[in-house]
């Protein structure tokens, strides 16, 4: 009888040990999977601005410029060009536009008088495509805006 009791005890210990190691392995797997899903690639590009701004001015400037970056006219052609509805497996263009808005932003630069354009995505190759397409569209929108602004008469100075 003593032999059977000890055998059952060891079987119980083995079952508890295997269950514990399986649970720990599962938790580690889920943590790694979550990190992999959360990983985002970033493409950055440093841009100079005309002058150094105070922190308040820079904050307002970035707010205005990020609004320009998020405009429909800037982002909508990119949704079609890169076929983002299909690539991201979304159901509508509006969803793709919202995700695209979240994928690009302007941040303060490390050096005074600079800002950083950042594009990000989970897919490394798509990050590059997004960065290039959004950067081009944003710069084209800025150029178009400058062309619409009235020019001062010759000899005019501030």
> How does pLDDT run across 83-130, given as a tens digit for each residue?
999 999 999 999 999 999 999 999 998 888 889 999 999 899 999 999
Closest CA to 87 of 101, 100, 75, 72: 100
Q: pLDDT of 4-35, one tens digit each?
A: 888 888 888 888 888 888 888 888 877 776 66
Q: Which pLDDT belongs to residue 151?
A: 58
Q: Which pLDDT belongs to residue 158?
A: 46
């Amino acid at each position: 009888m003593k032999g059977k009791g000890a055998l059952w005890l060891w079987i119980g210990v083995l079952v508890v040990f295997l269950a514990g190691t399986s649970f720990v392995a599962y938790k580690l797997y889920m943590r790694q999977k979550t990190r992999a899903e959360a990983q985002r690639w970033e493409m950055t590009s440093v841009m100079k601005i005309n002058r150094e701004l105070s922190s308040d001015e820079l904050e307002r400037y970035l707010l205005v410029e990020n609004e320009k970056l998020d405009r429909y006219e800037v982002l909508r052609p990119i949704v079609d060009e890169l076929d983002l509805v299909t690539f991201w497996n979304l159901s509508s263009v509006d969803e793709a536009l919202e995700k695209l808005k979240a994928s690009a932003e302007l941040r303060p630069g490390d050096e005074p008088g600079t800002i950083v354009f950042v594009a990000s995505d989970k897919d490394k190759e798509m990050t590059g495509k997004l960065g290039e397409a959004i950067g081009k569209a944003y710069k084209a929108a800025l150029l178009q805006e400058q062309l619409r602004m009235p020019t001062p008469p010759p000899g005019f100075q501030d």
